Chains A and B, each alone.
Chain A
């Protein structure tokens, strides 16, 4: 099966979408990530759910995980307050490789899709024809396909 057959319509956000709305979209649809479009409607990058967590957990706690234990329950529950008044562009990692898109062409095979996901540590891959977004393939969607046609025991 090719990427165009595996692709499903997928919710998208733009760089200016409120970060809180993007986070809600992730949880309400139980998505592993979101495709972010630029101002021209072209795929810009993927915002994985783990990146949202990386944004709300202070970097100093990520540097020294022992500090996470010092938080009381109430303060810990208020972590998502950091998303208020922020946009998706603020949540994206400040790295040069943010522009390295996890995308595949419509005629990519399953192994090409899998290699792209594994190589870029991305839970979703956008299927793009030229600059048009056809849909996306998730890890679970790809694995379901591979298991369907793979070993039975």
Chain B
């Protein structure tokens, strides 16, 4: 009976999160509270259990990166790069779009997607204003590039952080397995943008002068801070790359980096703490408790056993289902709760496969499907919602269907290519 009540509470909270009838933080906390009231969760299981409690590695990795970003964004480096690239592109709209896609994708691989688009979107509007071109194609290209670029690394997208924590995969594992396909996807994405947005990419030589008159050096507010950020971010990346050698969890690397950056930049606590997305962190905590309750009552083990029996050694079939299914679901619901729920199930499948390369590839199928699926619709990823909001405030309305008609094309192409990569790398040439 308790098991069914736990499942019902989980489904109810999940529906509230997906439909956004109430704020997702409230829904996740209500779901967690229901698990406590049902007697499945107590302080020990919620706070101290690695299997069923809050995953503090995820929480503190996110917290550390949010603090690092809060200091980096004060430097104006993103604005500098965007204006610099527009000038290097000599104001040619397609070249400007390609430069912005590359900057956004690389930044999204190193920082979180929402922050990246928040920093790039305003300067994109400025450049488009000066070029006299419609900004919506540029904003759409950027947010989709952000979702693609974020797929490349452990820290690029929150689902990857959850996957890393549940699977024990390292930063380098993510880079070796996902970065190659992300580079291919970005190249293809650039070509898709050339076709999709061709009518907006009109070159007007008379408007180029307006772009060339912008002075990118002026937007760098504090050169000393910029150098400090560059040094600390480099050290943090070295820490991530070598975290298995240094025996430091990525969360510890991020927290040490955040502490170092705050110390050298002498940023006041109220400055770096006000940029921390506390609702997101609390949302994660509620979610972990909800999923932990399903693990506690044995639902996840039952699903895992059933899937393990069904899949057997047919890992390509399971991976294909994961890629396409995750892409479809991530386009409809937030990919964070989806991956938090799926991670224990995929873990069971991988463990049943003895941790073989083909079984392990299921993690990459989940990451590719969930991350790239965020491009499918206007609500598929948090970054999409943020960009649509910025565009609306600046008088450029992007409707749900306007976004989705481009998003579905991009998602279909990128998922198809990813599926081919999955087959080639882990099965055909394994």
Chain A interface (Cβ < 8 Å from any Cβ of B)? 58-61, 63-64, 66-67, 69-72, 74-75
Task: Give the CA-CA distance A66 to B72 in the complex, in Å.
Answer: 14
Select from chain B the residue with minimum beta-carbon distance to A71. B214
Partner of B79, one of A58, A64, A72: A64
Known: A58-B394, A59-B393, A60-B121. A67 touches B213 (CB 8 A): no
Inter-subunit contact A58/B125 (CB<8 Å): yes
Q: C-beta contact mask, B209-222 vs A, less than 8 Å → 1, else 0?
A: 01001111011010
Contact B122 A64, beta carbon cutoff 8 Å: yes
Q: Is the interface of B mostly helix, strand, loop or mixed?
A: helix
Could you tell me the distance between the alpha carbons of A67 and B123 in the complex, rounded to whole angstroms? 7
CB distance from B288 to the nearest CB of A (A): 33
Cβ-based interface call for B129 (8 A):
yes
Complex alpha-carbon distance, A74 and B393, angstroms = 26
Whether the Cβ atoms of B219 and A70 lie closer than 8 Å is: yes
Say whether B122 contacts A70, CB under 8 Å.
Answer: no
Using CB atoms, name the residue of chain A closest to B128: A60
Contact: B390 with A70, CB < 8 Å? no
Q: Tell me whether B83 is interfacial, beta carbon within 8 Å.
A: yes
| A133 to B21 CA separation, bound complex (whole angstroms) | 44
Asked whether A69 lies within 8 Å of B126 as measured between CB atoms, the reply is no
Taking CB atoms, residues of chain B closer than 8 Å to A71 are 214
Quick check: is B325 within 8 A (CB to CB) of the other chain? no
B76 contacts A by Cβ under 8 Å: yes
A61 to B124, CA, bound (A): 11
With A58-B129, A58-B394, A70-B214 already in contact, the answer to whether A63 and B219 are too (CB < 8 A) is no
Given contacts A64-B79, A67-B122, 8 further A-B contacts (CB under 8 A): A58-B129, A58-B394, A59-B125, A60-B125, A61-B126, A64-B122, A69-B221, A71-B214
Are B76 and A66 closer than 8 Å at their CB atoms?
A: yes
A-B contact pairs, 11 of them (CB 8 A): A58-B126, A59-B393, A61-B126, A64-B122, A66-B76, A66-B221, A67-B123, A67-B219, A70-B215, A70-B216, A75-B210
Number of A-B residue pairs having CB atoms within 8 Å of each other in the complex:
53
B residues in contact with A61, CB < 8 Å = 122, 126
Q: Which of B83, B121, B215 contacts A72 (CB 8 A)?
A: B215
| Chain A hits for B125, CB < 8 A | 58-60
A74 to chain B, nearest CB (A): 7
User: In the bound complex, what is the Cα–Cα distance between A61 and B219 (angstroms)?
Assistant: 12
Q: Most chain-B CB neighbours within 10 Å: which of A63, A64, A72?
A: A64
Q: Are the C-beta atoms of A63 and B390 separated by less than 8 Å?
A: yes
Give CA–CA (A57, B214) in the complex, Å: 16
| Shortest Cβ distance from residue A50 to the other chain B in the assembled complex, whole angstroms | 18
A59 touches B394 (CB 8 A): yes
A69 to B215, CA, bound (A): 8
With A60-B394, A64-B122: A70-B83 Cβ-Cβ less than 8 Å: yes
Across-interface contacts of B122 in A (CB, < 8 A): 60-61, 63-64, 67
Partner of A60 from the list B76, B126, B210, B221 (CB cut-off 8 Å) is B126
CB nearest to A70 among chain B residues: B214
**Which residues of B lie under 8 Å from residue A66 when comparing CB positions?**
76, 79, 219, 221
Q: Which of A60, A64, A69 contacts B218 (CB 8 A)?
A: A69
Chain B: which residue is nearest A69 at the CB level? Answer: B218
Q: Which chain B positions have C-beta within 8 A of A70?
A: 79, 83, 126, 214-216, 218-219
A101 to B215, CA, bound (A): 42
- Chain A residues lying within 8 Å of B76, measured Cβ to Cβ, are 66
A72 touches B126 (CB 8 A): no
B residues less than 8 Å from A67 (CB atoms) = 79, 122-123, 126, 219
Residue of B nearest to A73 (CB): B213
8 Å CB interface, B132-178 against A: none
A54, chain B: closest CB distance, angstroms: 12
Contacts of A63 in B (CB 8 A): 122, 390, 393
In the complex, chain A residues whose CB is within 8 Å of the CB of B129: 58, 60
Chain B neighbourhood of A60, CB < 8 A: 121-123, 125-126, 129, 390, 394
Query: Distance in Å from the Cβ of B13 to the closest Cβ of chain A?
Result: 32
Mark out the residues of chain B between 58 and 94 whose CB falls within 8 Å of any chain A CB in the assembled complex: 76, 79, 83
| Alpha-carbon gap, A64 to B210, bound state (A) | 19
Q: Nearest chain-A residue to B220 (Cβ)?
A: A66
Kindly report which residue of chain A lies nearest to residue B79, judged by CB atoms. A66
Kindly state the separation between the CA atoms of A63 and B119 in the bound complex, as whole angstroms. Answer: 9
Shortest CB-to-CB span from B396 to chain A, Å, is 10
Contact mask B90-112 → A, CB, 8 Å, 1/0? 00000000000000000000000
